[in-house]
Structure 1
């Protein structure tokens, strides 16, 4: 009995002296995960998965192919930094938003939502980190594309006697970069709305395309399409020739094709069991 009492007193005294406060049953206050750290983790998730890595490889190959095609087929007078950068935009505009889709659906398809939302219970905060990291990845790809285009522009000057103008069309480059970020966010929004990678990809690629086809075939839809067809409004943005009338049209189309699925996705993921 004396041995039990001495052991009990020793344990009790050690527990009472513990700074964590376990003896009183009160857990210490734990600070939230910094938002920038969340963004870094989400960015790493987009690059660590096999699907994300191979999709980036595919984007790099497609961009390289388009730039090389322009480099070897365009005449010397039209070979400039802007023309080379513009030629690579199609591949990344088409494929990079799919990384946004997978960034949103990976928590549910890979069944990591339980661990993620246990470490950070504020799900909307996690989803906002996905938006920031996916948009940052789009900008990184855009910068790499500009650097590769600059290297080939220099090669054109040295080897082909090309015009090689270094005067970038900043309206075109800025519009393309903004369109890329918006499309990546649209991919994240569709991923959050459907929470299934194949369904979200089909919806992201199919629904806006179907609407565009309908507006081309049904004359009565052509007027509303100027405000509701995101493909049309983003095409104007990528030309770098936006006017005062074009910005409201872009905003309305983004509310429909980005704002609505994103709001539904944030609401759905906040209430779904992991």
Structure 2
């Protein structure tokens, strides 16, 4: 055996030694993915403008509520309800954009190359949308508390804080469900403008046309009524209707959106 016969084996042996010496590659943790998705939502001009608009609308609604106090008494629930209007209207838009940005901004190839498990990334997007809704809602709740206390001092009136825990639980749960529904529409459609349009028009169209066509049976698909009952912490004996509406408008689009995102062509 000559030296030339054994020479090719040396580079292969060296590569094997280097490979075994390198530490094993670690995948991104789910918490890391959620943090990245939160950064995507907050590091854009549109995201920051929407959040600022929500807080400004909440402050304006609280100011209006404070100057139009009902004679029979006022409480924290009125201020929270007024302040939550902007959250329910605008915050879902961020949920839509979180799901559609990869496809409309053509960053899906980069994202899914770094994190090939698409379903995991989509779950991180849903989680980040929920976290962001909780954070924004906390800011709105703080404004509502401040508005209630300040109005009580300026108007020299005793403000009610009855059932505070139930009110907060209903508000947070309703906002989270609304954002998840918007994110689900974004996952299904993958086009920001179209998804936002469908999210606002489809449930509203049903709430208007459904009762005329199906009478009381329309409650089974009335997601606004279901969210209202959840916010009030009182289902009014309409448990099947509430669960069906949540299932059709929130759970089903979420499942379809996850399936569609996992099979959508990346360009």
**TM-score, normalization: structure 2?**
0.88
| 1:202-246 CA-partner distances (Å, limit 9, x unpaired) | 11011111111112333xx12321211111111222223234x33
Change (3 A) 1:210 1:75: closer
Aligned partner of 1:266 among 250, 258, 267: 258
Partner of 1:149: 144
Match of 2:249 in 1: 257
Which residue of the other structure, out of 201, 205, 215, is the alignment partner of 2:196? 201
TM-fit CA distance, 1:164: 2.3
Q: Residue 47 of structure 2 is aligned with which of 49, 52, 58?
A: 52
1:118 and 2:118 are equivalent in the alignment: no
SS of the aligned residue for 2:186 comes to: helix
- The answer (yes or no) to whether the contact 1:211–1:229 under 8 Å persists in 2 is yes
Could you tell me how far apart the structure 1 residues matched to 2:87 and 2:250 are? 19
For structure 1, the 5+ residue unaligned runs are 1-7
Q: Any residues of structure 2 matched to 1:189-228 within 5 Å, and which?
A: 189-218=184-213, 221-228=214-221
State the alpha-carbon separation in 1 of the partners of residues 26 and 130 from structure 2: 27
CA spacing shift, 1:13–1:169, aligned 2, 3 Å? closer
The CA distance in 2 between the partners of 1:253 and 1:75, in whole Å, is: 33
What is the match of residue 235 of structure 1? 228
Which residue in 2 is equivalent to 1:62? Answer: 57
Report the count of equivalent residues: 259
2:3 aligned residue: none
How far did residue 75 of structure 1 move?
4.6
- Shift of the alpha carbon at 1:168? 4.3
- Indicate the larger mover: 188-197 or 40-49: 40-49
Q: Alpha-carbon deviation of 1:76?
A: 7.3
**Bigger CA drift: 28-37 or 248-257?**
28-37
Q: Is the contact between residue 211 and residue 217 of structure 2 (CA under 8 Å) also seen in structure 1?
A: no
* Aligned counterparts of 2:129 and 2:16: Cα–Cα separation in 1: 47
